[in-house]
Structure formats: C-alpha cells, structure tokens
A and B are shown apart, each in its own frame.
Chain A
C-alpha cells in the first residue's frame, strides 16, 4: 500500500494534513494517524503496522488493531492509497 500519486502529506502540530491535490480535498489526522501514514509510506502491511505501533505505544495488538484497520479503511474509502 502507498499514497496515491497526487496525495501529499505535511506534518502539523496536531498531527498531519493529507491533501489529495487532484481532487482538491484536504483531510486532517492526529499523531497516531500520522504514524500510520508514515508506516504505509515505508511499505508496511496492515499487520506490520499494528505490530509496529503496538511496540511503539506499548499496547497489546488486539487493543489497537480495530482503530488502525478502520483508519486504513478510511484512507482506502477516500481513495488516498493504492494497494
């Protein structure tokens, strides 16, 4: 998975802005969303993102899995990433 060609991101104090410049739509997300997008950009699979963030946040994977997968789904539903 990776961000689509005309999708740009920029760090902000609250997290991150995700800008689909082709559709001219802007999304904002918090620090956790930013971490997920960063890992997606590095080529991590959903499973590896869950694993990596469970280490980072010191939480059980089961605790955070649903939130992470739901966030990735919202990226897909808004056509921000391609598989």
Chain B
C-alpha cells in the first residue's frame, strides 16, 4: 500500500493487466509518442503522461501510437476486441467522440445483440472529461450521459485514485465495451492505493458518507465536492449520505432508493450539461419509485445549459461547487411541506 496519484493508479492498472494477460493492448494518439519517427520513443506517454513507460515495457506491438483518426483506430479496436484481443483505446478528450460515434454506438455496443449473443467485445475506451482546466468548449465536456444513453455500453466515472485502479482492472476484464472516463483535473489527486491488482464491481455504489438528513448523489469529481460539503454541513448538525454510483451504466438504483427512503431528501450533483443528464435520470427514478419517501423537492446542482466557457471567471461560475452543493442541501433540509389552508 502506498500513496499514488490518479495518474499512477491508472498507469499501474494498465501495467498489471498487460503483464497478466498478453491479449491486452493499448492504442491511441501519442499513447507512447515517437512512432514513425527517428527520435526518442515513449517520451510522451499520452497527452497528460498517463500511459508513460508502457511502450518501453511492452513494446510497439502492444502499445500502438495511432494516426490522428479516431474513426480508424476506435473501429480497429472494436474489431480487435471482437476477434480475441482486449484493447484499451484512448480517445484523449472525450469531446472527440464525435469523430467515431458510429464505431462505438452502432458497432461495438451492438455486436453482442446483432450476432445473437455469440460475439463478445472486451473493449475499453478511456477518455478525459470535465471542465476546470480552461480548455474551452471543445475540450471540457462531461459526456457520460451520452454514453449512458446507449444500451450495450458500460460507463465508468471513477471518483478517486483507489476507485480508478480497481474499476479500470474490472473494465479490462469485462467482456463488454466499457467507456472509462477520467476527470482531467484529478490526475494529481493522491491517496492510498494497494500495490496489488484488485477489482471493484460495476453497478455497486459506494457510500462515502452516511447520514440521516439528506442524500447527495454525485458523479466523478463531484463526489469529492459533495464530501467537502457534507463535512461542513455536519458541523451545523445536517448529516448527509453521499452516494458515489461509480458507474452510470449499470446504475445502482437500489442503493439510491434505499438511501432516499432513509433521508427523504435528495440533492444530485452532476457536472454534465443539465438537460437529459444523470441528475435528471436519478431525479426521475426517485420521483417514480420513492415519491412517498420524499419530504422535500429534489434539487439538482448542475451547470447551466451552455457550452463550457473558456474564461476562468465564467468557468468557475459555470461549475457546480462545494458552496452550491451546501446551499442546495440547506434548502432541502429546511424545506417543510406547507399545510393546506
């Protein structure tokens, strides 16, 4: 056990699975760096250095720098998965999915169904998501709702280094296509992570706080925000349960409903665009299945429906924050159903 960053946890998961299983390969733009040239190889290791050192250990046959053509290499990865390899393809910024959505949505996600259950597609697509990096509208989106919407895909949004390692190993060992989304602001976050390989099952939410008054459901980086808000609120006597669903597909609806049944109050924190996102999905679930348990309206802490702004000031304003979560929790905690006149 030692302190590892989110970046190191992912690198270690890839390395350990590549050692364990020769069918695991990596593909993506500059995942090593230097292919086709005469200079230094593997100096780059991905745009934020997550895959650094893997080509040096596993060679150019297993760590492939691809051309800047998402359609070609995501398609190739889907085909390689269907024919016996276990590729981990890196899309760099998830915003680039526009260039290869057919390969994901109509091909990889549908093979199992179109071929009568006879095809397996053990494909992992890793990508960075999220605002907070001043990367502007085309490099800052949180597109997990887009993938969650597509049946046949599993979608993972890890919230910490420990979670990232165990969920990525689970993703690589899974026989279905998995979209694994890493918040680009979290790569330097550190915590204790076991040195050995381990797996965290999909569809099993984690409760990072347990309380009696308000349930907070948060995704990815927002889990940390929700924890901070919960710790502040605790001092004022408002105790919160914080749910990290870990995967948006499958979604652990049972845990969410159980916790809402206990607290009767729900705040959902989702940094993706507010229309048809996970917050609306969870709100619909609870309104339908746990209406009688609710003691207050459901509150969503989400950004406005606009492209992510480039300006730091505007980006900060756009993002959910600890303060916004705290305010939402206070409002539902203070809410009382009005007596009929």
Q: Check if A and B associate.
A: no
A residues near B (Cβ < 8 Å) are none
